[in-house]
Structure 1
Amino acid sequence: MRKIVFISIILLFLSCSKSSDFYSGYIYDKTSNKPLSQVYIKENFKTNYKSTSSDKNGFFKINNDTESLGDLIFILKNYKTDTVVTVWSQNGEKIKYRFVGENHDTLYMSRIYSR
């Protein structure tokens, strides 16, 4: 009986899983709402991580040929570096995704001001 329940849970999880073939989204300046180009984006947890840069429209896409999802780090000179968790669940709630698959989420980066 336990095996049947375990297999049912695994099948349910796999049927509800999000396509994770790539990460994608847009990046804008928090103050001006203008797209940011040349933002360096990389996966956080992998030794052989993949990376890319945003285009002139602030868009980026990173192919993911693994079965796991990692956090994304966004780096641009004169802006605060930001790390975004791409998949999470809290206390058994529905699994939530950011920047995964067709979820073209948006990140607003804050400029660092020197005095």
Structure 2
Amino acid sequence: MFLLLISCGSKPNDFYQGLVMDKNGNLIENVSIFEEYDTENRLKTNKKGYFKLNRTSDRIQSLVFVKEGFKTDTIPTVWAQHGEKLNYQFIKNDTTVVRLKTVKSK
């Protein structure tokens, strides 16, 4: 999974948003997306691979991406690097691009 982050310095939103593509840059429709610890709060990407999922709690959770034919992936939405400031993806006024890897045939 490859992430392209374009971010501005702003307050985190109360929703997650982004685009889902394959390794060739093709937008992927109907990818199931949900919060890691709240699987009831879910939706699917639209025809343009876009999603906007409302957060269900005051905490920020990792997102899970599921689509048949692609590897399921869980992506953190907040992290700190070397004890520095917190970094966010999916919850800023930006577009986070997720590239799903295809499952290899057996």
Coarse TM-score class (shorter-chain normalised): 0.7 to 0.9
**Matched pairs, number:** 98
Q: Distance in 1 between matches of 2:52 and 2:92?
A: 9
Q: Distance in 1 between matches of 2:10 and 2:37?
A: 20
Q: Distance in 2 between matches of 1:97 and 1:49?
A: 23
What's the TM-score, normalizing by structure 1?
0.77
Question: Are residue 97 (structure 1) and residue 106 (structure 2) matched?
Answer: no
What is the Cα deviation at residue 65 of structure 1? 4.3
> Who wins on radius of gyration, i.e. which is larger?
1
Q: Distance in 2 between matches of 1:87 and 1:49?
A: 21
Q: Distance in 1 between matches of 2:83 and 2:11?
A: 17
- Runs of 4 or more above 6 Å deviation: none
Aligned runs of 1:36-75 on 2, under 5 Å?
A: 36-46=28-38, 49-75=40-66
Report Cα offsets for 1:2-49 as digits up to 9, x if no partner.
xxxxxxxxxxxxxx983231000000011x211000000000023x64
Q: Distance in 2 between matches of 1:61 and 1:36?
A: 14
Structure having the larger proportion of residues in strand = 2
Conserved? CA contact 1:44–1:70, under 8 Å: yes
Residue 33 of structure 1 corresponds to 25
Structure 1 unmatched ranges of 5 or more: 1-15
Structure 2 unmatched ranges of 5 or more: 1-8
What's the TM-score, normalizing by structure 2?
0.83
Q: Distance in 2 between matches of 1:17 and 1:88?
A: 16
Structure having the larger proportion of residues in helix = 1
Taking only the aligned residue pairs, the percentage that are identical comes to 33
